[in-house]
Amino acid sequence: MDLVVALADGVAHIVQVREGAPGERWSLPRAELPGWAASQEVGGVRWVWADSAEVYAVLLRGGVRVRHAVDLRLVRAILRRAAAAADTAYAGGPVSALDLPGTDVGHHAAAAQEDPGTTLFDLPSTGPTIEECLAEHLAQQECLTQVGDSRLRLLCHAESVGALIAQELNQVGVPFSSATHERLLRELLGEPHAQGGRPARMTELCAEIREALAAPGLNPDSAPDLIAALRRAGLEVATTRQWELERIDHPVIPPLLAYRKLSRLHTANGWAWLASWVQDDRFRPDWVVGGVVTGRWASRGGGALQLPRQIRAAVRAEPGWRLVVADAAQLEPRVLAAMSGDEVMARAAAAGDLYQGLVDQGVLASRQLAKMAMLGAMYGATSGQAGALMPVLRRAYPRAIGLVDAAAQAGERGDQVRTWLGRTSPPPSPRWHELQDAAQHPGAGDAAERRARQAARDWGRFTRNFVVQGTAAEWALCWLGHLRRVLDDTFAGQASAGAPRPELVYFLHDEVIVHTPQQYADVVAEAVREAARAAGQLLFGGFPVEFPLDVAVVESYDQAD
């Protein structure tokens, strides 16, 4: 049974849906929703709402977790773009209050903009009503039935589970030792400046830079000023990027590189960051499911996905607890082997280290080269060492490399591509088509042709990577979703008794952290492994690719390296 929920001012509206038909309705004060939801949850329902960040957050604040839910906005974003659903009435329907900003980029949006009566800017600014949510849910279910694609159904399900997990992560937070973080900052940056200016160590380095360049008053944070000062000192640089500076032999370089590194730490993860994003020794970023076109998550504020290694020692289990840190080894090449059905590459992965496997199969001379070549194949390297190795890889693994090559060619033509479960890439922009059209005109000129070819190749690299990165994101979502269920089932007793239980606290593309009472650490580690096996099975059935994990039980995140 489905329960569709929409929040209006102060009121929660609910409609029951059974076998595709709306039934009983309720309206209750918003404050009563969590309690009411808890009573329904016992009966095993599926919740349906526009936006987990809105409705589920309310439930979680009220202490209520749910097992199943549909996030209408996220499912809509997938279905509206899915190539598999392109012929359905749903795909051709009008824009809606449930469209994520920027996601309805196909012909529907263009048509709406041409019609002066209904532009995208006329969309209602309030959240969708219960009737809109109900209609959307029924339309989505109808669409999925019509398409009859179990993978697409799985993708929608996994995305919705991800939305629940993201809210749970938001609520729980990452255990974070402010004391450790402050100690690290002081060790690296020195005494902080009272008004948030440069801390002591950066001030010293700044003075050394000015001295070495004979440039008193130089602001090393200003790229134009820095380039000018470097040139005055006889150093011909075009940019001030690390890789370019590293090649120069001059007394200014060591302090400048050191300054850069500390400046990054200070601005991105310094005292101001600590004050903004860490409260009561929990780092609380805002996780954004569907924030990346490929299906990866994004985060808003706090830079949750860029937590630098420098400060990972501050991610620390509470006393008597542990962190179970698990990451999927070489996830993307393994996903590529599986989705392309490349049994030779799968065999190379079987011994544990896929890159070493390429060496052992006699394809490439060293692990380092194998890694570079594989990354190059997935990212679209055309030149340099990785580019030169592409023909070697193509010969050895025609199925795997053929898959990414085909995705690149599709993108260069302006076609859309899809992941294993059917997430479909966005179409190229109007600007992209303009460039291609311009190059087609007789006498277009070399410059126009170059620009068009460049844009086509750029988009081809995007679609090439999209199929692999997106499918890896699907594997990770299934992994995470399965882990959530195993933890909930295994520790249901603790939860109902109000006793401490393991909690998922962090997710980073191919890596999870579970914060657990120490005595459950081994059980959790096995659950994480079991979930990885389940994810591989769910996506690729019996295809013989393992997804091995590196699992560490540690007190702080830095110990997991």
Footprint of DNA (CB under 7 A): 219, 221-225, 238-244, 260-261, 264, 267-268, 273, 288, 291-294, 296, 298-303, 305-310, 327, 372, 375-376, 379-387, 458, 461-462, 464-466, 469, 508-511
Q: How far is the CB of 329 from DNA (least distance, A)?
A: 10
- For residues 22 and 548, which CB has a smaller minimum distance to DNA in the complex? 548
Task: Please give the full DSSP string across 124-190, using - where no structure is assigned.
Answer: -SSPPPHHHHHHHHHHHHHHHHHHT-HHHHHHHHHHHHHHHHHHHHHHH-EEB-HHHHHHHHHHHH-
| DSSP summary character for residue 279 | E
- For residues 467 and 486, which CB has a smaller minimum distance to DNA in the complex? 467
Q: How far is the CB of 245 from DNA (least distance, A)?
A: 7
User: What b/e string do you get for 210-241 counting C-beta neighbours within 10 Å, with b at 16 or more?
Assistant: bebbebeebebeeeeebbebbeeeebeeeebe
Q: How far is the CB of 5 from DNA (least distance, A)?
A: 27
Q: How far is the CB of 227 from DNA (least distance, A)?
A: 7
- For residues 113 and 267, which CB has a smaller minimum distance to DNA in the complex? 267
Q: How far is the CB of 495 from DNA (least distance, A)?
A: 30
- For residues 191 and 489, which CB has a smaller minimum distance to DNA in the complex? 191
- For residues 15 and 213, which CB has a smaller minimum distance to DNA in the complex? 213
- For residues 162 and 517, which CB has a smaller minimum distance to DNA in the complex? 162
- For residues 13 and 461, which CB has a smaller minimum distance to DNA in the complex? 461
- For residues 39 and 306, which CB has a smaller minimum distance to DNA in the complex? 306
Q: How far is the CB of 85 from DNA (least distance, A)?
A: 22
With vertex at residue 71, the alpha carbon angle to CA 335 and CA 94, rounded to the nearest 5 degrees, is 100
- For residues 465 and 556, which CB has a smaller minimum distance to DNA in the complex? 465
Q: How far from 395 is each of 400, 401, 544, CA to CA, in Å? A: 10, 9, 21
Name the pairing type of β-strands 68-71 and 46-49. parallel
Pair 331, 475: CB distance under 8 Å? yes
Pair 98, 50: CB distance under 8 Å? yes
Q: How far is the CB of 72 from DNA (least distance, A)?
A: 21
- For residues 92 and 414, which CB has a smaller minimum distance to DNA in the complex? 414
Q: How far is the CB of 561 from DNA (least distance, A)?
A: 9
Closest CA to 22 of 48, 50, 39, 2: 2
Pair 511, 480: CB distance under 8 Å? no
Q: How far is the CB of 421 from DNA (least distance, A)?
A: 17
Pair 318, 312: CB distance under 8 Å? no
Q: How far is the CB of 378 from DNA (least distance, A)?
A: 7
Report the C-alpha gap between 61 and 64 in whole angstroms. 7
- For residues 375 and 552, which CB has a smaller minimum distance to DNA in the complex? 375
End-to-end CA distance of the chain: 45
- For residues 48 and 206, which CB has a smaller minimum distance to DNA in the complex? 206
Task: Please give the full DSSP string across 342-389, using - where no structure is assigned.
Answer: -HHHHHHHHTS-HHHHHHHTTSSS-HHHHHHHHHHHHHT--SHHHHHH
Q: How far from 169 is each of 281, 289, 371, CA to CA, in Å? A: 15, 12, 33
- Max Cα distance, the chain (Å): 79
In 27-149, which residue ranges form alpha helices assigned H by DSSP?
Answer: 33-41, 52-61, 72-81, 89-92, 107-114, 130-147
Q: How far from 357 is each of 264, 366, 374, 395, 403, CA to CA, in Å? A: 37, 10, 12, 16, 20
- For residues 140 and 294, which CB has a smaller minimum distance to DNA in the complex? 294
Q: How far is the CB of 203 from DNA (least distance, A)?
A: 14
Q: How far is the CB of 195 from DNA (least distance, A)?
A: 12
Q: Is 532 exposed, middle or buried (0-12, 13-18, 19+ CB in 10 A)?
A: buried
Task: Please give the full DSSP string across 489-558, using - where no structure is assigned.
Answer: HHTHHHHHTT----EEEEE-SSEEEEEEEGGGHHHHHHHHHHHHHHHHHHHHTT------EEEEEESBGG
- How many beta carbons lie within 10 A of that of residue 313, not counting itself? 17
Q: How far is the CB of 488 from DNA (least distance, A)?
A: 26
